[in-house]
Amino acid sequence: MAKLYFRYSTMGAGKSLDLLKTAHNYEERKKKVFLFTSDLDNRYGKKKITSRLGISRDANTFNEENDLYKMVHEHIVVNNEELTCVLVDEAQFLTKEQVWQLTDIVDQLNIVVIAYGLRSDYQGEPFEGSTYLMTLADRIEELKTICEFGDKASMNMRLLNGEPIFQGEQVQIGGNESYLPVCRKYFKKQKQKQKTNG
């Protein structure tokens, strides 16, 4: 029976790499996959899922207007192709409605969906997509990474010129130059330090 999986982590934990590895595993067994990524993230080119290790694959992009169920269903009909798995990168950018559409892909088309994304933003606030994936997924898995200060990283600290910042828009696309995965304790310490000094 197909299921909806949500695999979350902080920045830099290998979400895209795990997604690409999963796609490769399915394809090695002659199974067809369908890849999605947000059109907001074009750091490595449009319509690409790219790991920081440099491995890359073409993908279908979504924005908040797209009906993901419709896109997958049309792909099946047009290509006369049986899909085994739908893989979604940058799943935090999904809307509530799009997460429900992923459940329809699972429940109506009997296709496994594995969504990868951040659980929260740089202020510790949840993303809409992640909130509904945490609510609706059949299985939730954390991809772990460590804070450079020793503990398990659970927060995404935004940087500007190497210094932590806690103000600004929720979405700012960036990599190691813009975000540092840190533990909650260090995150709170830096936030308090900025409040005291600011």
DSSP 149-193: TSSB--EEEEEETTEEE--S-S-----TTTEEEE-HHHHHHHHHH
Backbone φ, ψ for residue 92 (5° rounding): -60, -20
Judged by phi (left if over 0) then psi (alpha if -120 to 50, else beta), residue 126 lies in: beta
Given 28, 64, 81, 90, the catalytic residue:
90
Burial 33-66 (b: 16+ CB within 10 A, else e): bbbbbbebbeeeeeebbbbeeeeebebbbbeeeb
Residue for token digits 């197909």? 2
For the question of residue 90 being annotated catalytic, the response is yes
Burial of 119 (0-12, 13-18, 19+ CB in 10 A): buried
Please name the residue that has the structure tokens 């790499």: 17
* Residues acting as catalytic residues: 90
